[in-house]
Amino acid sequence: MKPYYEHGGITIFHADCREILSVIPKDAAIISDPPYGINLKTNDAERKRSKLAPAKDYMPVYGDSTPFNPWPWVSYPKCILFGANHYAPKLPPSPTWIVWDKRCGLGENDNADCEFAWVKDDSPARICRHYWNGMLRDSERDVERVHPTQKPIAVMEWIISRYTTPQDVIADPYMGSGTTLVAANKCGHEAIGIEIEEKYCEIAAKRLSQEVFQF
């Protein structure tokens, strides 16, 4: 299959990941934030109760209206899946979970204080503390969010540096706006991203091109 984007060891495919599994090496490290099967509401602007900060609507997360099946990915030697608390009964037992603390003790709101990621490993559970509350953030303060479940590049860098080796190819089968690939590129890894929504392929390619230009 012809890549949507390919440069410097980073490759993007515009496709349904379940249909092109062969493009992912069997020894790749899967690091992804898949659709959880929770039918996430993405019409933030419509539901916004306060006018203190701007809000925007996003496209619905593709596949989020049906239960998520993690089994195509847990067979890989390294696998990290966000949102795993929503589908934990479908995962093998693991002592290794990542807790991303998004509040860092600075108060609650009507969103989650943290997010969980399941890790195929036998190391202890760990906490990654990185404040991320709307426009109030530890990083990317002046960067517009372009995906409803977008993660900080810094958090994905923390994960990649802790749970992979420099030789690992990073694969994100639910790439979204490409944060995992940007982080992998910053960490010096080859990476493969797959995304079914062409809009996000375009956004991810642009983000990666900007990283190359800045470098």
Question: What residue ranges define each of the domains in the chain, with the CATH number in brackets?
Answer: 5-214 (3.40.50.150)
Mean pLDDT along residues 85-111: 92
How are the residues of the chain apportioned to helix, strand and coil, as percentages rounded to the nearest 5? 25, 20, 55
Outline where 32-152 has alpha helix (H).
Answer: 44-47, 71-74
pLDDT at 55: 60
* Average predicted confidence (pLDDT) for the chain: 90
**What's residue 108's pLDDT?**
82
pLDDT of 215 higher than 50: no
Categorize the per-residue pLDDT at 213 as very low, low, confident or very high, splitting at 50, 70 and 90.
very low
Q: What is the pLDDT of residues 35-47, one digit of tens each?
A: 998 877 766 555 4
Q: What is the pLDDT of residue 22?
A: 96
User: How high is the pLDDT of residue 100?
Assistant: 97
Q: Parallel, antiparallel, or unpaired: how do β-strands 132-133 and 136-137 relate?
A: antiparallel
Can you give the pLDDT at residue 150? 87
Higher per-residue confidence, 173 vs 142: 173
Residues in the chain: 215
Residue 136 CA: distances (Å) to CA of 87, 105, 113, 139: 29, 14, 14, 9
Model confidence pLDDT, tens digit, residues 47-94: 454 454 556 677 767 777 899 999 999 999 999 999 999 999 999 999
Which tops the pLDDT comparison, 212 or 202?
202
